[in-house]
Structure 1
Amino acid sequence: MIQRDSEREEHVVTTGTTAGELFPGQRTVVAARIGGELKDLSYELQDGESVEPVEISSEDGLNILRHSTAHVMAQAVQELFP
């Protein structure tokens, strides 16, 4: 069993389901907090894990956005100035 802590709902899914599959259509969810740790949405869930969505408007969500943006900018700079 995997518990999804969004609005304290409990959803039973199979082991190997990705964190992203728990939040279909919720484009504001950019990561998941699993066992107190941030994981990306491709993380495959294990039995007994509790999952909390991390939305882009949260402090952690904004940090993820900033970090990702920095990588995109670094790639662009490397392409412009090899």
Structure 2
Amino acid sequence: DVTEQFQTGANIALELCKKNQVRFALLKESSPSCGRNTIYDGKHRGVKIEGLGLTTALLIKNGIQVFSEKQIPALIKVLAL
């Protein structure tokens, strides 16, 4: 179980985002840390489930808009505003 390490990484990412006034993040879909719409179920079978990764959830909770690589057109639209 590496949940504690993922939580530590999420907290570090949030602090860096705050320090650098990051408003948008582009993260890797399906990662247990970075998934925006899906994450792997954690049983190492390659099965994806709906949900947010730990870092994604923390960033969203703190007002940072998170996009996956599958949402690049949506991110480009937001950046153009």
TM-score by length of 2: 0.24
Normalised TM-score (structure 1) = 0.24
**Higher helix proportion, which one?**
2
Structure with greater Cα Rg:
1
